[in-house]
Amino acid sequence: MTVYPVAPQVPGGLNFGQPVIDTDIHCAVPSPRALFPYLTDQWREYITTSAFKGPNDTPYPGGAATSALAGTKPEDGPPGSSLKLIQEQVLDAWNVEIGILNPSYSVDSISAPDTAAAMAAAVNDWLINDWLAKDSRLRATMVIPTRVPEMAAAEIDRVGDHPGIVQVMLPAVAQSPYGQRRWWPVFEAIERHNLVASLQFGGASGFPMTPAGWPSHYVEEYVDMAALFQSHLLSIISEGVLDKFPALRLSMIESGWSWLPGFFWRFDKVWKGLRRETPWVRELPSEYIKDRMRFSLQPLDLPDDPVIVQQIFEQLDSDSLLMFSTDYPHWHFDTPEGALPVGLTDAQRSRILYDNAASFYGFGRYAR
């Protein structure tokens, strides 16, 4: 008896009649051994003989319907671990000109700093050699040992200039809000290498992910995650990160975005009342967000109502914020058409599919 929806098959893809940039494709490390070519003898020996087999924390439980569409699992690894399947099911299926890989590998859960740094470096080298080198359509988000920001900055300096590395992964569940000064060496390095700081769904900080402690269910964690992005945006703007690093840009991946209008209203209003606390913040918080941040499209968290979709676009007061994403292999939509909100204008559709991401990352005809 099936009493709950199991994830449906990959819904195929769609040719939109124009090139597409997919800003959220999750690739997975198939096994610790896949990283062995990029680890020193010391760490190979340690992984082989100790209980440590790499991080096993995950924001995406393997059996949860949201975690993987049927048909995304290759024979010999987890969903997202096969280049061939990603080529077939994402890049070819959706006519993707450029796709950004977001490795779902919780390096941030590793408490030992040297281990975290070694594993992060191995994942980044694996991305470069096993993915970026094999398909010119791919770009990647690099991972960092988040718990020691100076080591994170060193890793950004090591691989950040690789042309396929476009941004740095900052998991949403972090040990402190990303505006705080402990993170500034990371932002300095990101800005130095002309990368994007990318806040993404997930994170294994070891601390509860709600202001009232640990929730009981995965479905709660999943819904709660949007609020963590809200906390980071409050922090990043209030602490003056965007003034301190004037070239810094940020992407919010799998954050949801239909909550932005209400968030703008509240943040802007409270800032007006309390702005003497943060004199370096020189314009409305919502203006910083619209200027410097972009959001991946999925999950939509919207009803299939074209009137509401257009109202929210007007409330956002920007056509530039959203970047197309399939969020492969996760389940958000059942038909290819469900990848986009209903009732978009041609101009909105085209910007979401291509221009917003291309201009933000400097891809294609927006190359800098």
Give residues 68-127 in contact with another protein (rule: CB under 8 A): none
Q: Considering only residues 19-78, where is the footprint of another protein by CB under 8 A? A: 64-66
Residues 6 or more apart whose CB falls under 8 angstroms from that of 196 comprise 166, 167, 168, 190, 249, 250, 251, 360, 361
- Per-residue x/- track, 295-334, another protein (CB under 8 A): ----xxxxx----x--x--xx-x-------------x---
- Binding residue for another protein (CB under 8 A) from 41, 51, 216, 365? 216
Closest CA to 357 of 327, 317, 324: 324
Which of 16, 36, 52, 218 touches another protein (CB under 8 A)? 218
Which range of residues in 17-25, 87-95, 140-148, 220-228 is near another protein by CB under 8 A?
220-228
Closest alpha carbon to 127 in 99, 98, 79, 164:
164
Give yes or no for residue 263 binding another protein (CB under 8 A).
yes
CB of 211 vs another protein, minimal distance in Å? 4
Query: Binding residue for another protein (CB under 8 A) from 115, 238, 251, 325?
Result: 238
Residue from 234, 242, 253, 309 in contact with another protein (CB under 8 A): 234
Binding of another protein at residue 1 (CB under 8 A)? no
> With binding defined as CB under 8 A, does residue 256 bind another protein?
yes
Residue 368 amino acid letter: R
Between 199 and 323, whose beta carbon lies closer to another protein? 199
Give counts: helices (H), strands (E), the chain. 12, 8
Locate tokens 């082989």: which residue?
Answer: 48
Terminal-to-terminal C-alpha distance of the chain: 55
- Of 26 and 139, CB closest to another protein: 26
Determine the interface stretch with another protein among 132-140, 184-192, 222-230, 245-253 (rule: CB under 8 A). Answer: 222-230
- In the set 151, 174, 242, 297, which binds another protein (CB under 8 A)? 174
Considering only residues 269 to 298 of the shown chain, the ones binding another protein according to CB under 8 A are 269-271, 273-278
Nearer to another protein, 264 or 360 (CB): 264
Specify the 3-state DSSP secondary structure of 169: strand
Smallest distance from the beta carbon of 226 to another protein, in angstroms?
Answer: 6
> Residue 153 and residue 171: Cα distance in Å, rounded?
16
Residue found under tokens 């978009």:
344
Of these, 12, 111, 161, 219, which contacts another protein (CB under 8 A)?
219
For residue 254, state whether it binds another protein (rule: CB under 8 A).
Answer: no
Q: What's the closest the beta carbon of residue 338 comes to another protein, in angstroms?
A: 11
Total residue count of the chain as it appears in this document: 368
Is there binding between residue 200 and another protein (CB under 8 A)?
no
Amino acid (1-letter code) at residue 357: A
Strand order in the sheet with 138-142: 20-27, 96-103, 138-142, 165-171, 196-200, 249-253, 293-296, 322-323
26 and 86 Cβ atoms separated by less than 8 Å: no
Both tokens of 80, joined, read 């997202």
Phi, psi dihedrals of residue 97, rounded to the nearest 5° = -80, -45
| Residue with smaller CB distance to another protein, 12 or 208 | 208
| Segment interacting with another protein (CB under 8 A) among 80-88, 95-103, 111-119, 169-177 | 169-177
- Residue 259's Cβ-count burial label (10 Å; 0-12, 13-18, 19+) is middle
Q: Does 266 bind another protein (CB under 8 A)?
A: yes
